């Protein structure tokens, strides 16, 4: 479980295909102290929950490795990452931690595309196009996670939705480098998914 509050930006430094392309192992540099890393711990990498399978130190930075299975490579942007890619990182939530964003599972629902970026004096406005099977779960003033960042939806129009990003978020996450045409991992609010499922079940029972 995560909160959508990015705590570091990692750098992908190696990608090793395994199991005939059905599995990738990635080595990622980060700023987390090596003595706080734990084998088997969960880290959200650009919003995708991964399990730490190795870690160590390289120069003045910590590195950790994760495995990405075929389903992850298919349904997220992970399969498109290359060496040098910068990705948002967040370690899993601990009991007693501040819930600064919203509850994020790290289970990406699909890939959204940036169709517009508007830079304004005090913020930036992004318009995203979500997959049609996912957009029904996105509501104005609701929450979404974009590449692991907890954001509030500003407006919704069909399969498109917009968010407003403050300068601090642009500076400390990868959103600052995101431009029109870019693709991001999208996770909708889990409460919206459960509410939709309950509604479907009740309608089916009433028929």
Average pLDDT, integer, range 23-48: 96
Are 56 and 121 contained in the same domain? no
The CATH number of residue 160's host domain is 2.40.30.20
Would residue 206 count as lying in a domain?
no
Are 59 and 133 contained in the same domain? no
By the 8 A CB rule, do 205 and 99 touch? no
Would residue 103 count as lying in a domain?
no
In this predicted structure, what is the pLDDT of residue 134?
A: 92
Distance from C-alpha of 104 to C-alpha of 92, rounded to nearest angstrom: 10
- Structural domain count of the chain: 2
Considering the entire predicted model, what is its pTM? 0.91
Are 14 and 78 contained in the same domain? yes
* CB environment 178-196: b (16+ within 10 A), e (fewer): beeebbbbbbbbbebbeee
Would residue 128 count as lying in a domain?
yes
In this predicted structure, what is the pLDDT of residue 40?
A: 96
In this predicted structure, what is the pLDDT of residue 115?
A: 97
**Which residues are known catalytic residues?**
2, 42, 49, 51, 69, 107, 152
Domain finish residue from 58, 91, 124: 91
Are 79 and 120 contained in the same domain? no
Element (H, E) at 193: helix 190-206
Are 79 and 122 contained in the same domain? no
Distance from C-alpha of 55 to C-alpha of 91, rounded to nearest angstrom: 14
Per mean pLDDT, which range of 42-51, 88-97, 164-173 is the poorest?
A: 88-97
Would residue 177 count as lying in a domain?
yes
In this predicted structure, what is the pLDDT of residue 196?
A: 66
In this predicted structure, what is the pLDDT of residue 33?
A: 96
| pLDDT tens figures, 157-207 | 999 999 999 999 999 999 999 999 999 999 998 776 766 666 666 666 666
Are 82 and 137 contained in the same domain? no
Domain finish residue from 25, 60, 91: 91
What tokens appear for 156 in the block?
């919704």
In this predicted structure, what is the pLDDT of residue 18?
A: 79
In this predicted structure, what is the pLDDT of residue 190?
A: 77
The torsion angles phi and psi of 132, rounded to 5 degrees, stand at -60, -30
Domain finish residue from 59, 91, 123: 91
| pLDDT tens figures, 62-77 | 999 999 999 999 999 9
Are 115 and 80 contained in the same domain? no
Would residue 73 count as lying in a domain?
yes
Q: Is the pLDDT of residue 45 over 80?
A: yes
Q: Which range marks the domain in which residue 30 is found?
A: 8-91
Would residue 15 count as lying in a domain?
yes
Would residue 205 count as lying in a domain?
no
Are 143 and 66 contained in the same domain? no
| pLDDT tens figures, 100-156 | 778 899 999 999 999 999 999 889 999 999 999 999 899 999 999 999 999 999 999
Would residue 99 count as lying in a domain?
no
């Amino acid at each position: 479980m995560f909160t959508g509050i990015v705590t570091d930006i990692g750098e992908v430094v190696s990608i090793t295909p395994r199991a005939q392309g059905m599995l990738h192992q990635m080595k990622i540099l980060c700023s987390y102290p090596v003595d706080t890393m734990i084998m088997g711990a969960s880290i959200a990498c650009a919003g995708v929950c991964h399990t730490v399978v190795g870690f160590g130190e390289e120069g003045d930075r910590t590195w950790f490795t994760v495995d990405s299975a075929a389903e992850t490579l298919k349904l997220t942007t992970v399969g498109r990452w290359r060496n040098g890619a910068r990705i948002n990182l967040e370690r899993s939530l601990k009991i007693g931690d501040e819930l600064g964003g919203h509850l994020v599972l790290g289970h990406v629902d699909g890939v959204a595309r940036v169709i517009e970026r508007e830079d304004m004096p005090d913020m930036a406005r992004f318009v995203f196009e979500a997959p049609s099977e996912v957009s029904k779960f996105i509501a104005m003033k609701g929450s979404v996670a974009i590449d692991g960042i907890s954001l509030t939806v500003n407006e919704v129009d069909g399969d498109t939705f917009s968010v407003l990003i403050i300068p601090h978020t642009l500076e400390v996450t990868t959103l600052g480098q995101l431009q029109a045409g870019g693709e991001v991992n999208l996770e909708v609010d889990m409460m919206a998914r459960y509410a939709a499922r309950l509604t479907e079940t009740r309608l089916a029972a009433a028929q």
